[in-house]
Amino acid sequence: MALLEIRNLHVATEDGTEIVRGVDLTVDSNEVHAVMGPNGSGKSTLAYALMGHPAYEITEGDILLDGESILELEADERAQRGLFLAFQYPHAVPGVTVASFLRSAVNAVRKAKAGGEDDPVKIPEFRTQLTGAMEQLKVPKEMAGRYLNDGFSGGEKKRVEILQMAMLSPRVAVLDETDSGLDIDALRIVARGVRTLVGPDMGAVVITHYQRILNYIKPDFVHVFVDGRIVREGGPELAEQLEAEGYEAFTPEPVGGES
Amino acid sequence: MATPETEVVAEIGTDYRYGFSDPENYFFKSQRGLSREVVEAISAHKDEPEWMRDFRLKSLEYFQARPLPTWGGDLSGIDFDNIYYYIKPTESQAKSWEDLPPDIKQTWDRLGIPEAERKFLAGVGAQYESEVVYHKLQADLETKGVLFLDMDSGLREHEELVRQYFGTIIPQNDNKFAALNSAVWSGGSFIYVPPGVSVEMPLQAYFRINAENMGQFERTLIIVDEGAYVHYVEGCTAPVYTTDSLHSAVVEIVVKPGGRCRYTTIQNWSNNVYNLVTKRAVAYENATMEWVDGNLGSKQTMKYPAIWLLGEGAHGEVLSIAFAGDGQHQDAGGKAVHVAPNTSSVITSKSISKNGGRSSYRGLLEVAKGSHGARSKVVCDALILDEESRTDTYPYIRIDENDVDIGHEATVSKIGEEQLFYLMSRGLSEAEAAAMIVSGFVEPITKELPLEYAVEMNRLIQLQMEGSVG
């Protein structure tokens, strides 16, 4: 059974405009999938829909996590089952420190895993885990005491997204344009972080416009996403071809199912 | 005795955490309603000096002569004739925990006072009904000459000191409810800190109303002498009753040159209480006065802690937070009056409205002629959680001096869907996510509280938030 299975997914906005027009994608543990597409192709909508954003309606198709449909679940329940979305534009929560936010999030997921019983992480254990993850992702120590994304630079936000991912240990992580706004050093660190987490317990979907991040997170599969559909699939070599030829070369021959 | 009340409370099934009530076992209870006889009986029962009795009777006249205020909140629901103005629960004050009657002890156990005391109480004066019955002062405070008594004992044991200041900061005819308090006051705290003495641990008192239709009229007077420091913390919780209760306190504070006083209140009256409090402090040369004022409960709160900056270089701060839920109106804010050069003040107000609740910021900033170099900053932030709720801002500003630096900022924000979604995508439920955003919003205030109160405040906010969204 696949970890995450997206079947013929159609997503529309509240006014009825269809943005995602029939996507099939299967992600397993140990796998990194790259979804590459131009601006406005609907990549972020796909990411939001996977996480259950209330502004998007799934008009057709299904999303299965561990073989079970999650369409009826709210975002928090999806997260508790192991889905994670690294946001392109993470939101600020003034007054709430990174550390206290992370502890609440970790405890919310633990509670769900314990069948609804409170099972808070012990503070020393949490601290050790947090310090370790921060060191690995080269996130300065004092960030733990800063208010979540409040006044963070673009690069800091992205790193803290990956830090959250590391702390929450999801089964499937979707990274939405995590490379945008990162300099090359930060990109390398973030990519290494993602690669370390992908393994027998986790698979990842890396959504990006550019090939750049893929030089560091070697994808196992590349999906070219144009106009709400996957138009071509292949191995890492496809990303290089894209970089050389641009997206235009891929627009005329859709391979995704007609809707 | 009064088991029906316990039954009433049991039937309410409220989520108000402190909505329990112990059987009443009072030593003395006045008749309902207010009259010269009731006031005289209170004074006689306390065996007060004549000047205090006359002060009370004069105050009663002022109270009766004044109309209800027509601004602020709707006070028409108060039935003054249906209130007990004085109840004394036990025969005399207990010196230690063990001496307390079991049912009073039980009530306090539920409020967690002994636990709090173990942690970092310097002294506890807890008000049960109208009289302070339990009082403890750490030995080192006594040796430093710090007085921390209930107001009645203060009057008995330090009459001259009390007489010198009582009713001088808030005159008995200041407003209708200050006049009422001046007529029927009972309990509250009396604190004196001698010159140069710094009380490191916060002094704490718990206040509590336990009887149906009980008015609570505590009276607090704090005198911080030159170069001295004290932090006084007051927490209030009330059980839930079906009829309306009235809480009308008066707090007067004098901070002498170079002194500093911080007064912290977390008020969580149950949602049928009218909470109408007059708080005022005067600060002399280079003195600092800080009010930290949290209003979470009550039906109607009208409270505007004030600071009169009387001496050059005096500094005043008001941190006010109000949380208005279903059926609640929090009319809160602060006042700063500059009457000396180079004085400074900061008023920070944070309000939250949900489930049709209404919160208003009402503040006064006044700078008198000659107060050159005065600086003041007023910041009001309101957070509205749904379409049914409401927030208003009434900033009154009167400046009669040109050489001043005045700033005023006001923001109104709503919890955004995107912010909620972001937090929910990390596994937090919608209510948890909203509570987290609210906790963050009030963090500038909670970080100023002693740890234990910060924890309690966040817990109260979570309780208030449960089931409020979605």
E-strand spans in B80-161? 87-88, 123-128, 131-137, 147-150
Instruction: Find, among A180, A71, A98, A12, the residue nearest to B426 by Cα.
Output: A98
A122 Cβ under 8 Å from any chain B Cβ: no
Using a CB-CB distance cutoff of 8 angstroms, which residues of chain B are in contact with residue A53? 421
B428 Cβ under 8 Å from any chain A Cβ: yes
pLDDT for A227: 93
For A79, the closest chain B residue by CA position comes to: B427
Spatial contact of B267 and B275, defined as CB atoms under 8 Å apart: yes
Domain-wise residue ranges, chain A: 4-97+171-250
Confidence tier at A122 by pLDDT (50, 70, 90): very high
Out of A52, A55, A79, name the one closest to residue B427 (CB). A79
Q: pTM for this one?
A: 0.78
- DSSP single-letter state for residue B144: T
ipTM for the predicted complex comes to 0.95
> Is B428 in contact with A96 (Cβ distance < 8 A)?
no
State whether residue A137 is helix, strand or coil: coil
What is the token pair recorded at B314? 């005096």
Q: What is the average pLDDT value for chain A, to the nearest integer?
A: 92
Spatial contact of A70 and A83, defined as CB atoms under 8 Å apart: yes
Spatial contact of B20 and B43, defined as CB atoms under 8 Å apart: no
Confidence tier at A253 by pLDDT (50, 70, 90): low
Confidence tier at A93 by pLDDT (50, 70, 90): very high
Domain-wise residue ranges, chain B: 24-427, 428-470
Alpha helices (runs of H) in B349-450, residue ranges in sequence order: 417-424, 430-441, 443-446
What is the token pair recorded at B167? 């009713």
Question: What is the end-to-end Cα distance of chain B in Å, rounded?
Answer: 44
Using a CB-CB distance cutoff of 8 angstroms, which residues of chain A are in contact with residue B444? 95
Out of A76, A147, A164, name the one closest to residue B429 (CB). A76
B422 Cβ under 8 Å from any chain A Cβ: yes
> Is A74 in contact with B436 (Cβ distance < 8 A)?
no
A47 Cβ under 8 Å from any chain B Cβ: no
pLDDT for B332: 95
A99 Cβ under 8 Å from any chain B Cβ: no
Question: What is the end-to-end Cα distance of chain A in Å, rounded?
Answer: 26
Using a CB-CB distance cutoff of 8 angstroms, which residues of chain A are in contact with residue B417? 54-55
Distance from CA of B346 to the nearest CA of A (A): 20
Please give the residue that has the higher pLDDT: either A172 or B218: A172
Confidence tier at A258 by pLDDT (50, 70, 90): very low
pLDDT for B27: 57
A93 Cβ under 8 Å from any chain B Cβ: yes
Out of A74, A93, A109, name the one closest to residue B440 (CB). A93
A74 Cβ under 8 Å from any chain B Cβ: yes
> Is A96 in contact with B444 (Cβ distance < 8 A)?
no
pLDDT tens for B416-438 read 889 999 999 999 999 889 989 99
CA pseudo-torsion sign B437, B441, B444, B449? negative
> What is the distance of C-alpha B359 from the center of its chain?
17
Structural domain A4-97+171-250, CATH architecture: 3-Layer(aba) Sandwich (3.40)
Residues 6+ away with beta carbon under 8 Å from A227 = A21, A41, A42, A251
Regions of chain B short of the pLDDT cut 50: 1-17, 91-93, 113-134, 207-214, 242, 467-470
Percent of chain A with pLDDT over 70: 97
Spatial contact of A224 and A235, defined as CB atoms under 8 Å apart: no
